[in-house]
Amino acid sequence: MKPVKPMTWKPEGSAAQMHGIADYEFVRPLGSGNNGRFFLARRPQRLPVDVEYVAVKVLSAESTDTAFRRAVRELTAFSTVQSPHLVAPFDAGQQDGSFYYSMEYFPAGSLAAPAQPVTTAEALRAVADAARAAAALHAAGIVHRDLKPGNVLLHPQGGKLSDLGLAQVFAEGVTITGMGPLDSVEYIDPAVLMGGRSVPATDVWSLGVMLHRVVAGTGVHGDLPAGDGLLALRRVLSVPPQLSDRLPGPVAALVRDCLAPAGERPSAATVATRIDGLA
């Protein structure tokens, strides 16, 4: 990888400039995720990993001591799950009220924003890997809560599941319209949008919607209105999911099973196996 020059980041609505956080030197922004932003950063010498660059997420919400402790507990839980399909966090901390954590950097981008065009076969392989990662989390008693194309990072062998749902740690009790960008809404089980608890079956719903998106190129709720979170939320809650005619029969059957009532959905491990069979 060629060396890159550091880049100054100016937070929206602020005159202050930010070159990094703690001992992480930011190189450039990588994009936004729920309740925060990602940056490419140089690996601090203290980190015992053999890489030159890491990805750092800085949470935009003010992290109180209670939120910080909860986030650290959640990251610790995620880091104990052994799966080659899950992005493991390297480090976490808090500076000037901002919580951050670092993890592997994937230059190929995500399913939502790939660095190069992705074939359907490659997308299916990445979704299957995300399902395997979700299955490993579920076996450990953890629900991801934010499965979507932007959180499936690409590499030559498939994909890795990222962004550990920490937005809900920092925004507990906040309505979904205040929790993140529109790209999250269509992937969330409507039962959760209505106030229900996140369980493994809600991750399976998200996998089904994501599978529909990467194969058909559309969401199960059509095109959501851009820039109007409340209207998008109303659409998701009021319009039943519709499967595209462009889905091959076996893909449509799997998506339909993922969107079935919670007690009738397959496990994430079964979803991965069935996607493998589609190839």
Topology at the third CATH level for domain 120-278: Transferase(Phosphotransferase); domain 1 (1.10.510)
Active site (annotated) includes residue 146:
yes
Domain ranges for the chain:
20-103, 120-278
* Structure confidence by residue, pLDDT tens digits, 53-67: 999 988 776 667 777
Contact 80, 140 (CB under 8 A): yes
Question: How far is CA 240 from each of CA 53, 189, 245, 261, rounded to the nearest angstrom?
Answer: 43, 12, 16, 13
Q: Report the alpha-carbon distance of residue 90 to residue 24 in Å, rounded.
A: 12
pTM of the model: 0.85
Domain 20-103, second-level architecture = 2-Layer Sandwich (3.30)
Structure tokens at 242: 């519709």
* Structure confidence by residue, pLDDT tens digits, 215-272: 999 999 888 777 677 788 888 888 889 999 999 999 999 999 999 999 999 999 999 9
> Given this chain, do its domains 20-103 and 120-278 carry the same CATH topology?
no
Those residues whose C-beta lies under 8 Å from the C-beta of residue 273, and which sit 6 or more positions away, are none
Catalytic one of 23, 50, 91, 146: 146
